[in-house]
Chains A and B, each alone.
Chain A
């Protein structure tokens, strides 16, 4: 078999810093889809790893492993291989997804320009996950920390998603610069 070169999505793309936010590409890491067969309970098998099958919109972690809800009767295991023999449809999707980190104060305000669900901390605490559209791009968004989001999109849409996010950061930076520079609002009459 030919020697294939593993290349990250947006290979060589450095972080972009604007408006106090840092957008960067997550390093390639294992992504496995786990969809339990109907009526099967994975609790004992996952408990051996310190994990639990997540409720909708939730995730849990154990060491480097993280199990995030991604759809009806489906979760993604991040950071490692699932055990053999799970009573589930298990597929390696590592090469199919691109991940970004958006960190800094006000990440939710940036995402609010692209995403309809409320991602503020009170409504979307650390460890919660949402599957929604990033503008028109299907995305899985995880609140990694109080000031960090992880955004995953189909790898084929990585460049578009990156462009959408960078554009939002540029708009926020332009607005901040305008406010700081004392640009006055249009004069009001009446």
Chain B
């Protein structure tokens, strides 16, 4: 498996560390209820995940390369990597972090 880092080019999977689902980019805002009650914003953010058969998006860290966070689009059925983008280059990225 290879990921094509937008900065470094195609690199071996061993250069990257998996972090988790794209949901981690969507941290609840300051107005979200500050409890972990079931189905609440924080419960969802921390614990609730889909388990898609097909397209999925998750976060990877290029730790042996440029040290950038990447948003990877891939397909769990075909193992195709369909996109790799810099988290920092996304619109409003600094608010997401």
Contact = CB atoms under 8 A, between A and B. Distances in A.
Report if A and B associate in a common complex: yes
A72 B15 contact: no
B12 A116 contact: yes
Interface stretch (A19-27, A42-50, A129-137, A162-170): A129-137
B15 A116 contact: yes
A72 B86 contact: yes
A40 to B, nearest CB: 14
Contacts of B11: 116-117, 132
B64 A57 contact: no
A74 B86 CA distance: 15
A132 B64 contact: yes
Contacts, number: 42
Contacts of A181: none
Contacts of B64: 131-133, 138
A57 B34 CA distance: 44
B15 A132 contact: yes
Given A72-B7, A72-B88, A131 B12 contact: no
Contact of B8 (A56, A73, A138): A56
Contacts of A117: 8-9, 11
Interface in A122-149: 130-133, 138
Interface stretch (B20-28, B44-52, B65-73): B65-73
A132 B94 contact: no
Interface residues of B, number: 16
Contacts of B67: 71-72, 74, 131
A12 interface: no
Contact of A133 (B15, B68, B88): B15
B1 to A, nearest CB: 12
30 contacts: A38-B94, A56-B7, A56-B66, A57-B7, A57-B8, A57-B9, A71-B65, A71-B66, A71-B67, A71-B68, A72-B66, A72-B68, A72-B86, A116-B11, A116-B12, A116-B14, A116-B15, A117-B8, A117-B9, A130-B8, A131-B8, A131-B65, A131-B66, A132-B11, A132-B15, A132-B65, A133-B14, A133-B15, A133-B64, A138-B63
Interface of B: 7-9, 11-12, 14-15, 63-68, 86, 88, 94
Given A57-B7, A133-B15, 5 more contacts: A56-B8, A56-B66, A116-B11, A116-B15, A131-B64
Interface of A: 38, 56-57, 71-74, 116-117, 130-133, 138
